[in-house]
């Protein structure tokens, strides 16, 4: 029960912080904050540079009894930063990004992404080949599973969905943003600030909320949403009007929920009232949930929403009410171990934007003759992905430290299908094909010789064996294994330890989950 309460508190916390980050306000000193926020949803093209940095404050007690390798990883990933030095958004389908991933204090990996309406090409520093992803739109019919569309129809439908989405977003922002209350600590000043090297006249907006103020702000916002019945009904009417103005959407779906036929069918007005009632009930339910949390866990909430936690935001807004530059800092430091093994965390977000809704030309993706395609990645073993990178590269070192090449096959003895079996001679036998394929090896059966051949790329090993025999050949050399190859319920089983040794793997037993599990594992570089 305690873990469930912590989970619920965490969900409410994340929701609360998200609401605060998108907080809007009434106009102050010439800055209409609601317009500012609405404009962020209307940006269709722009150039920018951005960064997001997350720092985790680890509790030292969490390291007790932990292996040194795991401690090193936790310390390494306690600091993560994505730095985008060049972002070019041409339109909804064409964009390019160039930057780096910074892990810890010393690991820096450059990357670039170039996307068109059909293809995205990802290049990572240290990778031997670029990664190519097919991003072709599939159209409304395919998304809904109701129709197969040709390419021309798919393009048309994708444009229709985009248009509908923009109209709905405008309506949603009008309701949710217009109701946002002001933070108490808010200031606005006129300044001159460089944007992409050009001195620009801007409004400098500073806002700050402590943890205790965040909780009060969220409750106030939910109260406003729950009490604005007229605004909610107007919002629903706008959504219904938008949907009715796009009959092509319902033609693809094969059903029109607003079509009225028959005396007992609900009218559009009935449906609007029902939808409004449901949304209103949702906000009232959220009100009740917040009140219940205060009554049941008031002290716990105080530990999270305390004065050591805060959100600070600095925005630079131009005369068109577009955000041109911003820096947001979120600090979360519970007064007790509410986030154990973390003592707290901090998030820093920066961005600078220019050429907003202007003519932007994104870098064009070019697919080279040699590349790795996304469907190939899906079928790759971890070690195969690791080998896409030069061994001297930072990316390879990071992936290797994450043990991406480690292969583990777990076979509980109480599996209903393909379990590990301990024989009366205390030899553990395992399902051949299951183990081989999880390790990336291939298995072939020769009907003429009635022999099975296993080839493992990692160990460059070929094993040939037959059912009913304990004699095998490993790379052409005859061996005798500790148990005969045996068929169990139609599945071929072999001696587990012998099979693992032949492939350069190790075996062990693990009972940490309350059940005996036979584990085969190896580290591949």
Domains of the chain and CATH, by start: 407-523 (3.30.457.10)
Per DSSP, the three-state class of 146 is: coil
Characterize the bridge pairing of strands 372-373 and 406-412.
unpaired
- CA 435/CA 519 separation, integer angstroms: 10
Check residue 24 and give its pLDDT: 40
- The burial of 62, by beta-carbon neighbours within 10 Å (0-12 exposed, 13-18 middle, 19 or more buried), is given as middle
Distance CA 303, CA 281 (A): 30
Please answer whether residues 406 and 522 qualify as being in contact, where contact means their C-beta atoms are separated by less than 8 angstroms: yes
Cβ neighbourhood burial of 334 (10 Å; 0-12, 13-18, 19+):
buried
**Residue 307 and residue 322: Cα distance in Å, rounded?**
31
Report the distance separating Cα 265 and Cα 274, nearest Å.
Answer: 14
Q: Determine the Cα–Cα distance for residues 54 and 82; give it in Å rounded to an integer.
A: 9
Q: Residue 31: which H helix or E strand, with range?
A: none
Q: What confidence score (pLDDT) does residue 226 get? A: 87
The CA–CA distances, whole Å, from 267 to 75, 151, 248, 274, 376 equal 60, 37, 21, 11, 51
Q: Could you tell me which of 205, 201, 166 has the C-alpha nearest to residue 189?
A: 205
Regions in the chain scoring below 50 on pLDDT: 1-28, 138-156
- Tell me the C-alpha distance between 284 and 12, whole Å: 15
**Pairwise CA distance, residues 317 & 255, whole Å:** 45
Question: Helix or strand or coil: residue 266?
Answer: coil
Strands 131-134 and 372-373: parallel
In sequence order, what are the residues at sequence separation of 6 or more whose Cβ sits closer than 8 angstroms to the Cβ of residue 484? 468, 469, 470
Parallel/antiparallel/unpaired status of strands 198-210 and 451-456: unpaired
- Cα separation, 185 vs 198, in Å, equals 30
DSSP secondary structure code for residue 309 in this structure: -
């Amino acid at each position: 029960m305690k873990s469930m309460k912590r989970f619920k508190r965490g969900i409410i916390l994340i929701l609360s912080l998200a609401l605060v980050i998108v907080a809007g306000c009434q106009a102050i000193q010439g800055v209409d904050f609601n317009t500012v926020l609405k404009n962020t949803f209307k940006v269709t093209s722009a150039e920018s540079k951005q960064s997001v940095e997350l720092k985790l404050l680890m509790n030292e007690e969490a390291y007790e009894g932990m292996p040194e390798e795991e401690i090193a990883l936790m310390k390494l990933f306690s600091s993560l930063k994505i730095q985008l030095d060049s972002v070019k958004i041409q339109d909804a389908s064409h964009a390019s990004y160039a930057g780096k991933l910074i892990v810890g204090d010393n690991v820096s990996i450059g990357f670039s992404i170039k996307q068109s309406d059909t293809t995205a090409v990802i290049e990572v520093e240290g990778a031997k080949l670029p990664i190519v992803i097919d991003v072709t739109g599939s159209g409304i019919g395919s998304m809904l599973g109701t129709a197969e569309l040709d390419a021309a129809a798919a393009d048309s439908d994708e444009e229709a969905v985009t248009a509908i989405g923009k109209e709905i977003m405008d309506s949603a922002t009008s309701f949710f943003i217009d109701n946002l209350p002001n933070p108490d600590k808010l200031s606005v000043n006129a300044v001159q600030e460089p944007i992409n090297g050009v001195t620009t006249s801007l409004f400098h907006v500073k806002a700050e909320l402590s943890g205790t103020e965040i909780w009060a702000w969220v409750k106030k916002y939910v109260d406003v949403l729950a009490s604005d019945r007229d605004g909610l009904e107007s919002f629903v009417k706008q959504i219904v009007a938008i949907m009715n103005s796009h009959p092509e959407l319902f033609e693809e779906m094969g059903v029109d929920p607003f079509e009225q036929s028959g005396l007992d069918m609900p009218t559009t007005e009935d449906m609007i009232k029902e939808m409004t009632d449901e949304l209103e009930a949702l906000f009232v339910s959220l009100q009740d949930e917040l009140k219940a949390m205060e009554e049941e866990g008031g002290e716990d909430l105080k530990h999270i929403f305390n004065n050591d936690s805060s959100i600070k935001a600095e925005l630079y807004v131009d005369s068109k009410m577009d955000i041109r530059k911003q820096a947001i800092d979120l600090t979360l430091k519970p007064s007790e171990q509410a986030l154990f093994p973390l003592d707290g965390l901090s998030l820093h977000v920066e961005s600078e934007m220019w050429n907003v809704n202007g003519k932007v030309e994104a870098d064009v993706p070019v697919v080279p003759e040699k590349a790795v395609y996304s469907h190939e990645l899906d079928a790759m073993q971890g070690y195969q992905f690791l080998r896409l990178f030069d061994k001297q590269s930072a990316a390879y070192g990071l992936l290797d430290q994450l043990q991406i090449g480690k292969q583990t096959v777990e076979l509980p003895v109480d599996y209903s299908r393909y379990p590990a079996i301990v024989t009366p001679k205390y030899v553990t036998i395992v399902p051949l094909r299951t183990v081989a394929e999880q390790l990336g090896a291939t298995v072939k059966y020769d009907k003429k010789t009635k022999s099975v051949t296993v080839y493992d790329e990692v160990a460059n090993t070929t094993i040939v064996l037959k059912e009913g025999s304990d004699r095998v050949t490993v790379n052409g050399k005859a061996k005798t294994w500790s148990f005969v190859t045996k068929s169990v319920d139609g599945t071929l089983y072999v001696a587990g330890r012998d099979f693992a040794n032949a492939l350069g793997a190790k075996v062990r037993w693990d009972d940490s989950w309350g059940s005996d599990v036979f584990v085969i594992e190896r580290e591949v570089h």
